[in-house]
Protein backbone atom coordinates (compact mmCIF):
# COMPACT_ATOMS: atom_id res chain seq x y z
CA UNK A 1 0.00 0.00 0.00
CA UNK A 2 1.26 3.46 -0.93
CA UNK A 3 -0.65 5.86 1.28
CA UNK A 4 -0.91 9.57 0.60
CA UNK A 5 -2.49 12.14 2.87
CA UNK A 6 -4.04 15.20 1.26
CA UNK A 7 -5.42 18.25 3.03
CA UNK A 8 -8.58 19.21 1.19
CA UNK A 9 -10.70 22.13 2.40
CA UNK A 10 -9.19 21.80 5.90
CA UNK A 11 -9.92 18.07 5.91
CA UNK A 12 -7.19 15.44 5.84
CA UNK A 13 -7.94 12.71 3.32
CA UNK A 14 -5.93 9.51 3.06
CA UNK A 15 -5.84 7.43 -0.13
CA UNK A 16 -3.90 4.47 -1.48
CA UNK A 17 -2.28 5.79 -4.65
CA UNK A 18 -1.38 2.25 -5.73
CA UNK A 19 -5.08 1.48 -6.32
CA UNK A 20 -6.40 3.90 -8.94
CA UNK A 21 -9.85 3.23 -10.40
CA UNK A 22 -9.85 4.22 -14.06
CA UNK A 23 -13.36 5.15 -15.24
CA UNK A 24 -12.40 6.23 -18.77
CA UNK A 25 -13.21 4.54 -22.07
CA UNK A 26 -10.35 4.40 -24.54
CA UNK A 27 -10.11 4.34 -28.32
CA UNK A 28 -8.63 1.00 -29.30
CA UNK A 29 -7.57 -0.41 -32.68
CA UNK A 30 -8.14 -3.90 -31.27
CA UNK A 31 -11.86 -3.62 -30.46
CA UNK A 32 -14.89 -1.62 -31.50
CA UNK A 33 -14.92 1.69 -29.68
CA UNK A 34 -17.87 3.63 -28.33
CA UNK A 35 -19.57 5.98 -30.79
CA UNK A 36 -22.36 8.55 -31.04
CA UNK A 37 -23.63 11.46 -33.12
CA UNK A 38 -23.87 9.78 -36.51
CA UNK A 39 -20.25 9.85 -37.63
CA UNK A 40 -17.80 7.12 -38.64
CA UNK A 41 -15.78 5.19 -36.09
CA UNK A 42 -12.47 6.49 -34.80
CA UNK A 43 -9.36 5.34 -36.68
CA UNK A 44 -5.79 4.59 -35.64
CA UNK A 45 -3.50 3.83 -38.54
CA UNK A 46 0.22 4.01 -39.42
CA UNK A 47 1.32 6.79 -41.75
CA UNK A 48 3.15 6.06 -44.98
CA UNK A 49 6.23 7.73 -46.40
CA UNK A 50 7.53 7.12 -49.91
CA UNK A 51 5.16 4.17 -50.25
CA UNK A 52 6.46 2.59 -47.03
CA UNK A 53 4.27 1.93 -44.00
CA UNK A 54 5.83 3.51 -40.92
CA UNK A 55 5.41 0.54 -38.63
CA UNK A 56 8.11 -1.58 -37.01
CA UNK A 57 6.46 -4.83 -38.08
CA UNK A 58 6.63 -3.54 -41.67
CA UNK A 59 10.36 -2.79 -41.47
CA UNK A 60 10.31 0.78 -40.15
CA UNK A 61 12.39 1.80 -37.13
CA UNK A 62 9.39 3.35 -35.29
CA UNK A 63 5.64 3.07 -35.04
CA UNK A 64 4.09 6.32 -36.26
CA UNK A 65 0.30 6.28 -35.97
CA UNK A 66 -2.24 8.94 -36.78
CA UNK A 67 -5.41 9.00 -34.70
CA UNK A 68 -8.61 10.35 -36.22
CA UNK A 69 -11.46 10.93 -33.77
CA UNK A 70 -14.01 13.35 -32.36
CA UNK A 71 -13.90 13.71 -28.57
CA UNK A 72 -17.69 14.02 -28.32
CA UNK A 73 -18.26 10.81 -30.27
CA UNK A 74 -15.45 8.36 -29.62
CA UNK A 75 -13.91 8.60 -26.17
CA UNK A 76 -14.32 9.71 -22.57
CA UNK A 77 -14.18 13.49 -22.80
CA UNK A 78 -14.49 16.55 -20.60
CA UNK A 79 -16.17 19.68 -21.90
CA UNK A 80 -16.71 23.23 -20.71
CA UNK A 81 -19.38 25.80 -21.57
CA UNK A 82 -17.55 26.51 -24.83
CA UNK A 83 -19.35 23.44 -26.14
CA UNK A 84 -22.57 25.44 -26.46
CA UNK A 85 -21.50 29.10 -26.72
CA UNK A 86 -20.78 31.18 -29.80
CA UNK A 87 -17.30 31.91 -28.48
CA UNK A 88 -15.46 28.60 -28.31
CA UNK A 89 -13.97 28.61 -24.82
CA UNK A 90 -11.23 26.07 -24.16
CA UNK A 91 -11.67 23.47 -21.45
CA UNK A 92 -7.87 23.38 -21.20
CA UNK A 93 -7.87 27.03 -20.16
CA UNK A 94 -10.85 26.89 -17.80
CA UNK A 95 -10.18 23.69 -15.86
CA UNK A 96 -7.38 24.79 -13.54
CA UNK A 97 -7.67 22.26 -10.68
CA UNK A 98 -7.72 18.50 -11.01
CA UNK A 99 -8.51 16.91 -7.64
CA UNK A 100 -12.05 16.93 -6.24
CA UNK A 101 -14.24 15.21 -3.69
CA UNK A 102 -16.69 13.13 -5.68
CA UNK A 103 -19.73 11.03 -4.91
CA UNK A 104 -20.37 7.92 -7.01
CA UNK A 105 -24.10 7.26 -7.36
CA UNK A 106 -25.98 4.51 -9.18
CA UNK A 107 -29.26 5.52 -10.79
CA UNK A 108 -31.98 3.40 -12.37
CA UNK A 109 -33.44 5.75 -15.01
CA UNK A 110 -37.12 6.69 -14.86
CA UNK A 111 -39.45 5.89 -17.72
CA UNK A 112 -41.06 9.16 -18.85
CA UNK A 113 -43.26 9.18 -21.95
CA UNK A 114 -41.07 7.44 -24.54
CA UNK A 115 -37.80 8.35 -22.79
CA UNK A 116 -35.64 7.24 -19.91
CA UNK A 117 -34.22 10.01 -17.75
CA UNK A 118 -32.46 10.82 -14.49
CA UNK A 119 -34.75 12.93 -12.31
CA UNK A 120 -34.15 15.44 -9.56
CA UNK A 121 -35.70 13.27 -6.81
CA UNK A 122 -33.26 10.45 -7.56
CA UNK A 123 -30.27 12.77 -7.21
CA UNK A 124 -31.63 14.33 -4.03
CA UNK A 125 -32.00 10.86 -2.53
CA UNK A 126 -28.47 9.90 -3.59
CA UNK A 127 -26.73 13.07 -2.41
CA UNK A 128 -28.91 14.10 0.56
CA UNK A 129 -26.97 16.71 2.55
CA UNK A 130 -23.53 15.68 1.29
CA UNK A 131 -21.25 18.42 0.06
CA UNK A 132 -19.27 17.34 -2.99
CA UNK A 133 -17.43 19.07 -5.81
CA UNK A 134 -18.20 16.32 -8.31
CA UNK A 135 -20.79 13.66 -8.97
CA UNK A 136 -20.11 10.44 -10.87
CA UNK A 137 -23.34 8.94 -12.24
CA UNK A 138 -23.51 5.24 -13.09
CA UNK A 139 -26.75 4.29 -14.83
CA UNK A 140 -28.46 0.91 -14.82
CA UNK A 141 -28.20 -1.52 -16.46
CA UNK A 142 -24.42 -1.21 -16.24
CA UNK A 143 -23.24 -3.58 -18.95
CA UNK A 144 -19.82 -3.94 -20.57
CA UNK A 145 -21.26 -2.90 -23.93
CA UNK A 146 -21.15 0.72 -22.74
CA UNK A 147 -17.51 0.61 -23.83
CA UNK A 148 -18.34 -0.27 -27.43
CA UNK A 149 -21.93 0.74 -28.10
CA UNK A 150 -22.98 2.93 -31.02
CA UNK A 151 -25.55 5.27 -29.45
CA UNK A 152 -26.61 7.03 -32.65
CA UNK A 153 -30.39 7.01 -33.13
CA UNK A 154 -31.01 5.05 -29.91
CA UNK A 155 -32.54 7.87 -27.78
CA UNK A 156 -30.28 7.20 -24.76
CA UNK A 157 -31.08 8.09 -21.17
CA UNK A 158 -30.51 11.74 -20.31
CA UNK A 159 -30.60 14.17 -17.38
CA UNK A 160 -33.73 16.22 -16.74
CA UNK A 161 -33.39 20.00 -16.73
CA UNK A 162 -34.57 20.12 -13.11
CA UNK A 163 -31.89 17.61 -12.15
CA UNK A 164 -29.21 19.75 -13.81
CA UNK A 165 -30.48 22.84 -11.98
CA UNK A 166 -30.40 20.94 -8.69
CA UNK A 167 -26.77 19.90 -9.22
CA UNK A 168 -25.81 23.48 -10.08
CA UNK A 169 -27.58 24.93 -7.03
CA UNK A 170 -26.03 22.27 -4.81
CA UNK A 171 -22.59 23.46 -5.87
CA UNK A 172 -21.58 20.47 -8.00
CA UNK A 173 -18.87 21.79 -10.33
CA UNK A 174 -18.01 18.59 -12.17
CA UNK A 175 -20.62 16.24 -13.57
CA UNK A 176 -19.47 12.84 -14.85
CA UNK A 177 -21.88 10.45 -16.52
CA UNK A 178 -21.72 7.16 -18.46
CA UNK A 179 -23.86 8.43 -21.34
CA UNK A 180 -23.09 10.23 -24.62
CA UNK A 181 -24.83 13.38 -23.39
CA UNK A 182 -26.64 14.89 -20.42
CA UNK A 183 -29.33 15.97 -22.90
CA UNK A 184 -31.88 14.16 -25.01
CA UNK A 185 -30.42 12.96 -28.31
CA UNK A 186 -32.92 14.90 -30.42
CA UNK A 187 -34.28 17.93 -28.57
CA UNK A 188 -34.49 20.53 -31.35
CA UNK A 189 -31.24 22.09 -30.18
CA UNK A 190 -32.51 23.15 -26.76
CA UNK A 191 -29.73 21.45 -24.76
CA UNK A 192 -31.68 22.16 -21.59
CA UNK A 193 -29.42 20.33 -19.14
CA UNK A 194 -26.17 21.67 -20.61
CA UNK A 195 -27.52 25.21 -20.39
CA UNK A 196 -28.92 24.71 -16.90
CA UNK A 197 -25.75 23.18 -15.48
CA UNK A 198 -23.52 25.93 -16.89
CA UNK A 199 -26.09 28.63 -16.06
CA UNK A 200 -25.96 30.27 -19.49
CA UNK A 201 -28.92 32.53 -18.62
CA UNK A 202 -27.03 34.00 -15.67
CA UNK A 203 -23.45 34.12 -14.44
CA UNK A 204 -21.86 31.42 -16.57
CA UNK A 205 -19.93 28.80 -14.64
CA UNK A 206 -16.73 28.87 -16.67
CA UNK A 207 -14.92 26.47 -14.34
CA UNK A 208 -17.65 23.83 -14.34
CA UNK A 209 -17.26 20.75 -16.53
CA UNK A 210 -19.28 17.88 -17.89
CA UNK A 211 -17.54 14.56 -18.57
CA UNK A 212 -19.40 12.06 -20.74
CA UNK A 213 -18.77 8.46 -21.81
CA UNK A 214 -17.30 7.22 -18.54
CA UNK A 215 -17.64 3.63 -17.37
CA UNK A 216 -17.77 2.78 -13.66
CA UNK A 217 -17.26 -0.96 -13.07
CA UNK A 218 -19.90 -2.76 -11.03
CA UNK A 219 -17.21 -3.65 -8.49
CA UNK A 220 -16.93 0.02 -7.45
CA UNK A 221 -19.34 0.76 -4.56
CA UNK A 222 -21.34 3.96 -4.38
CA UNK A 223 -19.85 6.52 -2.02
CA UNK A 224 -17.20 9.17 -1.56
CA UNK A 225 -13.95 9.17 -3.56
CA UNK A 226 -11.12 11.48 -4.44
CA UNK A 227 -11.37 12.24 -8.15
CA UNK A 228 -8.37 13.11 -10.30
CA UNK A 229 -9.81 14.62 -13.48
CA UNK A 230 -6.98 14.42 -16.00
CA UNK A 231 -7.42 15.96 -19.42
CA UNK A 232 -5.38 16.12 -22.61
CA UNK A 233 -4.10 19.65 -23.41
CA UNK A 234 -6.26 20.43 -26.44
CA UNK A 235 -7.36 24.06 -26.87
CA UNK A 236 -10.93 23.08 -27.65
CA UNK A 237 -14.37 23.07 -26.08
CA UNK A 238 -13.83 19.38 -25.23
CA UNK A 239 -10.84 17.13 -24.84
CA UNK A 240 -10.20 13.45 -24.16
CA UNK A 241 -9.94 12.80 -20.45
CA UNK A 242 -8.95 10.10 -17.99
CA UNK A 243 -10.87 10.46 -14.74
CA UNK A 244 -9.39 8.39 -11.92
CA UNK A 245 -11.06 7.61 -8.60
CA UNK A 246 -9.27 6.86 -5.35
CA UNK A 247 -11.08 5.21 -2.48
CA UNK A 248 -10.80 7.24 0.70
CA UNK A 249 -9.34 5.24 3.57
CA UNK A 250 -11.58 5.57 6.61
Task: Find out whether 64 and 57 touch, Cβ atoms under 8 Å.
Answer: no
What is the per-residue burial (b if ≥16 Cβ within 10 Å, else e) of 110-142?
eeeeeeebbbbebbeebbeeeebbbbbbbbeee
Among 136, 142, 71, 73, CA closest to 105? 136
Going by pLDDT thresholds of 50, 70 and 90, the confidence category of residue 68 is very high
**Structure confidence at residue 29 as a pLDDT band (50, 70, 90):** confident
Q: How many CA atoms lie less than 13 Å away from 171 in the CB half-sphere?
A: 11
How high is the pLDDT of residue 36?
Answer: 97
Instruction: List, as one string, the DSSP characters of 102-160.
Output: EEEEEE-PEEETTEEEE-HHHHHHHHTT---SEEEEEESS--GGGGT-B-TTS---EE-
Q: What is the pTM of this model?
A: 0.96
Per-residue pLDDT, averaged over 25-39, amounts to 92
The fold for domain 3-28+71-247 equals Glucose Oxidase; domain 1 (3.50.30)
Amino acid sequence: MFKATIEYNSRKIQIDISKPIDISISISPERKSVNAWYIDDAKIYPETYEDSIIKVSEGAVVNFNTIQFNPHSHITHTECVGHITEEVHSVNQNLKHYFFLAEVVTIAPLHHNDDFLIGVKQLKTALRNKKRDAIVIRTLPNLEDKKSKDYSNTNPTYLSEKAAIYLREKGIKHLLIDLPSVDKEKDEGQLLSHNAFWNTDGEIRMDATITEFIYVPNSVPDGEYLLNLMIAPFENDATPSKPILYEIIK
